[in-house]
Structure 1
Amino acid sequence: MSVHVIGAGLAGLAAACALTDRGHHVVLFEAAKAAGGRARSYVDPVLGCRIDNGNHLLLSGNIAALSYLHRIGAARSLAGPAEPVFPFIDLQSGRSWRLHLNQGRFPWWIFSSSRRVPGTGLRHYAALLKLRRARRQDLVADLVGRGPLYRNLLEPFAIAALNTMPDIASAAPLRAVLAETIERGGAASVPRYARIGLSESFIDPALEWLSAKGADIRLGERVTALNPAQATVLAVPPWIAASLVPGLTVPDEYESICNLHFRHSLGQEGFWGLIGGTTEWVFARPDMLSVTISAANRYADIDNDTMAARVWGELSRAFNLPAEMPLHRVVWEKRATFACTPAQLGRRPGARTPNPNLVLAGDWTDTGLPATIEGAIRSGNNAAAALLQPIG
């Protein structure tokens, strides 16, 4: 069977790989001249080096993402610690600490003051039990928004995973993330990130794999209308999907992400969570210090120069860096993800449409997960399965 996959972001690439692996001929369309969507790398002319358009942290429990990398031969392209360790720096107190989970499923780490979140006792971890019962209408902050565990772990984790502020974000997708990672123990919670860049891990190997398998890849070719008789995976942003599929209900409220890249070597590679400031997650590579700020609509009125100065000031305090700001770039993804609110979750469609020849893929479809790399790849797998099931 010949299948058209429209959109070469992670969802479209995952669907294309799954279909190709099943022996179907894929024609992959992408309106942009480069594949990858919101998970790609490019050469920045200001910095004079290659950067990601955003930083992404995976966990070893992200089975769909890791299986995808294994399929395209890029499983060794990720970096990260050998253990489930998460380093944090509190910008207000100046204290550095590490969350260190144990490998097994039973959380022995909460009984060790050196492994758990500072200032927490056993009673604070009852919040995790509350999250296990979270429903779509439950808001993260209302459910667990108190105490040191919330400030130092659950709040930054929720903002990063949901890309929505906890006072309006549904707790149900956060429950789903925790169920597949931390609740399965440290073995499912080891942090992973692209060693070189997102394109080098997720995009370029997939394109090479698809080409070697005979797929037809058409970059820079926009599809403006759908053929109802053609087997199609529509893996485009929700607003484009709605314009191509009459009557389709999709999320229509969005949150931005702000990424800042500084041309500075920290002298070590790794990642850190920063608490108590604007900066949230820091990724250090040999020649670059990159920062990710999620749920960034709250900072939309701050100009780039002010944002860069604020963030560099926090980095200087956290890592004892020079006060003079190095060459930098501020990158905004204005519609990075849908807003993960109860109302918007209700607008997520499934993979199937009334036309059995047309299926949907994208992190905005109803995967049960928030809009993450894991969710995007899982949506592509779901779309491929839905398209193939009617024909056996």
Structure 2
Amino acid sequence: MAGTDAIVIGAGLAGLACALALSDRGLRVTVLEASDTPGGRARSWTDATTGDRVDIGPHILLSEYRNLRAMLERLGTHEQIAWQGRRFLLLADQPQLEIRVDPLPAPLHLLPSLLKAPQAPMHDLVSNARVLWRTLRLTADDVQALDAIDAETLVRRLGVTPHFIDWFWRTGAMTLMNVPLGECSAGALLQLFRFLIGVSGYEVGLAKVGLGDLFAPAAIRAIEANGGKVRFGAPVAGLIGDASATGVRLRDGAELHAPRCIAAVPPDALRAMLPPHWTGRHGLFDSFARFKPSPYISSYLWFDRKLTREPFWSKVWTPRTLHYDFYDLSNIRSGWRDRASVIACNLIHSDRAAGLSDDQIVQAAVREAAEFVPGAADAHVTHASVHRIPMAIPSPHPGTERLRPGPITPVEGLFLAGDWLDTGLPSSMESAVRGGWLAAEAVLSTAGGRAEAIARPVPTLQGLAALIGHRSLR
């Protein structure tokens, strides 16, 4: 395409973040999106039956998502987040347990809630001492070394009691890492755990509008106002070039050319776009085949009555648990407060439910919702929508943490963006934005020497945690 400085493949969060950063700095950017809807794995659309905006799946945000918050502030949509104060999580357990972020120095800010939990007697909590010490002293080399084993093996080796492993660590692996504990990289899980216990004062945020509506429409307007273009229904069949990337070939045969191409797509989609002589020449591209998707099923249930005033809650792990996190959108979305409940829930790592029909998924969702809000069992579901999503994130299996690449590839002119890059964070919306901005930094460094720090750094340890973990992770 004449006059284009950079082509961005993918209009998800990473692609739009990268394109926005580049266009804000004077580059002429063209974004190519295969579907007719922007947002990628955080997209939103209008439900045909109810007219409500729904998401591919609900997500929480954290106030320490510095890159995502900076992007939303740039777009003017940051006020569309409902912050939840000190409540971090409401566990739908027996009994219910509210976990709060207390005004104590890290890593003590979550301790008061755990000390009140009858599910975690003192000997269970104390059994985590070696895990806590190992986590706070974690370095980048440690993350790579621990990536060789699964998280269940590690916490057992470090002396955590079987009960606490089931109640806490299995729940955390499923809800935060999207895989079972025994299939999760120990390095990846401890890196996230370090963030949660090493930084205090953060809040959970929930989108008051459709998740994709937080960023996609405003980002597209900004990119186009800067002279860029965003094209939908433009699937890329392959990248063009020999020793360097010179453009893309669309599925309809058309070719677009630019000196820089940024692939903001998942690793499996990217691998399908690579010319065969690149994959044979560069080992980095061969490693993409080792990333496997973690699928999930997200269901939306419209009820005939108000069931609860709680905005969100989570179930703890059991061998039978299907849905872990639940959101009553009537208590979250702007202007919905007086409506009947609209409950969205996620069935994580959904391979285990592959044989269930949509009706069976809905029945299971109602049954598990009723364990927290008993009225759901007697209420009528007026409408339901089941979304089967092939990939929530690339599964953080043992061995994958060390495979996460940076934004620069061995092919000149080809850059990578996405939540699966080595961002210092688990795959998430925050990691996607940071990955997009790291790619923009790399592109700018080749465009007339305009090197610039765009990506916000990963938060460092605070309080007592900083004294214990005086070694740097990055």
TM-score by length of 2: 0.76
Which amino acid in the other structure matches residue 28 of structure 2?
Answer: H
Contact 1:32/1:221, CA 8 A, preserved across alignment: yes
Corresponding residue number in structure 2 for 1:233: 262
Alpha-carbon distance between aligned partners in 2 of 1:368 and 1:105, rounded to the nearest angstrom: 23
Does the 8 Å contact 1:3/1:27 carry over to 2? Answer: yes
Map of 1:208 onto structure 2: 221
| Secondary structure, aligned partner of 1:282 | strand
User: 2:99 touches 2:110 (CA, 8 Å); kept in 1?
Assistant: no
Task: Return the offset for 1:13.
Answer: 0.7
Alpha-carbon shift at residue 125 of structure 1 (Å): 4.0
Tell me what 1:331 maps to: 387
Whether the aligned pair in 1 keeps the contact of 2:369 and 2:376 (CA below 8 Å) is no
- Could you tell me how far apart the structure 1 residues matched to 2:315 and 2:342 are? 17
The 3-state SS of whatever aligns with 1:263 is strand
Q: Which runs of 5+ in 1 are unaligned?
A: none
- SS of aligned partner of 2:230: strand
154, 160, 167: which is aligned to 1:143?
154
Question: Which residue number corresponds to residue 75 of structure 2?
Answer: 72
1:98 aligns with 2:127: no
CA distance in 2 between counterparts of 1:344 and 1:59 reads 24
Pair 1:182 & 2:226 matched = no
- The equivalent position to 2:183 in structure 1, one of 159, 165, 168, is 168
Q: How does 1:101-140 map to 2 (within 5 A)?
A: 101-109=101-109, 112=112, 117-118=117-118, 119-121=120-122, 122-126=125-129, 127-132=131-136, 133=138, 135-140=146-151
1:41 counterpart = 2:53 = no
Structure 1 or 2, whichever has the larger Rg, is 2
User: For 1:86-128, what per-residue CA distance to the aligned partner results, in whole angstroms no more than 9, with x for missing partners?
Assistant: 11111xx3x2111112234333445536765442425144233
CA distance in 1, matches of 2:36, 2:113: 51
* Residue aligning to 1:271: 312
Match of 1:285 among 323, 329, 333: 329
Structure 1 residue 209, shift from structure 2 partner: 2.3
* Residue number among 333, 343, 348 corresponding to 1:294 in the alignment: 348
Contact 1:59 1:181 in 2 (8 A): no
Asked whether the 8 Å contact 1:15–1:381 carries over to 2, the reply is: yes
1:206 and 1:124, CA in 2 relative to 1: closer, same or farther beyond 3 A?
A: farther
- Cα distance change of structure 1 residues 66 and 309 upon mapping to structure 2, 3 Å threshold: same
Provide the C-alpha distance between the structure 2 equivalents of 1:111 and 1:37, rounded to a whole number of angstroms: 37
Please list the CA deviations of residues 295-330 of structure 1 after superposition, one character each: whole Å capped at 9, or x if unmatched: 222222222222221221111121122425502121
1:309-361 alpha-carbon deviations (Å, 9 max, x no partner): 12211111211224255021211112332221123334433211122311011
TM-score in terms of structure 1 length: 0.91
Q: 1:204 to 1:181 in 2, by over 3 A?
A: farther
Q: CA RMSD in A?
A: 2.3
Q: Could you say which residue in structure 1 is the equivalent of 2:294? A: 255
Q: Secondary structure at the match of 1:210?
A: helix
Which of residues 339, 344, 351 is equivalent to 2:407? 351
Aligned partners of 1:46 and 1:329 also within 8 Å: no
User: In the comparison of the two structures, how many residue pairs are matched?
Assistant: 387
SS in 2 for 1:23: coil
Answer yes or no: is the 8 Å Cα contact 1:61–1:180 preserved in 2. Answer: no
Check whether the contact 2:184–2:397 (CA below 8 A) recurs between aligned residues: yes
Change (3 A) 1:180 1:252: closer
Structure-2 change in CA distance of 1:114 and 1:162 (3 Å): closer
Q: Which amino acid aligns with 2:196?
A: T
CA distance in 2, matches of 1:322, 1:384: 47
Q: Mark the CA change 1:80 to 1:170 in structure 2 (over 3 Å): closer, same or farther.
A: same
The answer for unaligned runs of 5 or more in structure 2 is: 247-258, 280-284, 331-340, 450-474
